């Protein structure tokens, strides 16, 4: 399938052939959901921690006699029912990561790329660069596309420090290289801009 290629002023400068196996596939919502869940789980710090009664600092002395007081039987004050005592079944540091087949991840990535293209939320832009890092230049580029207030994902083939630094101060803009392209960031963006040279790299990464 063919798609238009535009420059930074949103002027058509040609066309490009896109692989139907990547940019024209069906979206499986279940697969996309599974991949998003996997990505978010992988990002979890897993540092939440509580102390059990054996870890709480304090005296181990019995707080009152076993019999004769009319009160319930208790041991020390580190029991969970007392203020300052241990926590029962509380969280402990853990790793939330779990494995997910590469084939599933690729399928979801192809699906969301196809969805964005079909909905007119994906644009192929001619390769560009800036002479120096300037946030103003990044804003001007987005203004040409009417995207200055939208969440943007810009996909580059290689690192370009001037471009990456120019978009860095924009809270709604994110820049990724092809290797870092993922399902969550594509779906989270209102519009995806992919430089023309990155298409070959995407084909290489997601191709059969």
Strand partners, 191: 152
- pLDDT digit string (tens) for 3-56? 999 999 999 999 999 999 999 999 999 999 999 999 999 999 999 999 999 999
Tokens 């969550």 — which residue?
Answer: 184
CB 20 within 8 A of CB 1: yes
Give CA separation, 184 vs 79, 153, 160, 188, in Å.
43, 11, 23, 6
Beta strands in 88-200 (DSSP E): 122-125, 152-156, 173-177, 191-195
Q: Which domains does the chain show, CATH number per domain?
A: 2-44+97-206 (3.40.1370.10), 46-95 (no CATH)
Local confidence band at 208 (pLDDT 50, 70, 90 cut-offs)? low
- pLDDT digit string (tens) for 74-107? 999 999 999 999 999 999 999 999 999 999 999 9
CB 62 within 8 A of CB 78: no
DSSP letter assigned to residue 56: S
- pLDDT digit string (tens) for 129-149? 999 999 999 999 999 999 999
CA distance 14 to 153: 22
pTM listed for this prediction: 0.84
Tokens 């987005």 — which residue?
Answer: 142
């Amino acid at each position: 399938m063919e798609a238009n290629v535009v420059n930074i002023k949103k002027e058509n400068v040609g066309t490009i052939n896109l692989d139907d196996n990547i940019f024209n596939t069906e979206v499986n919502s279940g697969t996309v959901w599974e991949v998003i869940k996997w990505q978010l789980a992988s990002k979890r710090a897993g540092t939440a921690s509580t102390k059990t009664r054996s870890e709480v600092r304090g005296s181990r002395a019995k707080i009152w006699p076993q019999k004769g007081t009319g009160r319930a039987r208790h041991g020390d004050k580190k029991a969970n029912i007392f203020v300052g005592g241990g926590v029962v079944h509380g969280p402990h540091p853990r790793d939330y990561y779990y494995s997910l087949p590469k084939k599933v991840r690729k399928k979801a990535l192809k699906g969301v790329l196809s969805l964005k293209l079909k909905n007119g939320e994906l644009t192929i832009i001619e390769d560009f660069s800036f002479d120096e890092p300037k946030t103003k230049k990044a804003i001007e580029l987005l203004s040409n596309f009417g995207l200055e207030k939208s969440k943007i994902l810009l996909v580059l083939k290689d690192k370009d420090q001037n471009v990456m630094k120019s978009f860095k101060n924009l809270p709604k803009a994110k820049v990724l290289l092809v290797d870092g392209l993922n399902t969550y960031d594509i779906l989270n963006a209102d519009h995806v801009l992919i430089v023309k040279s990155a298409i070959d790299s995407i084909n290489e990464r997601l191709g059969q």
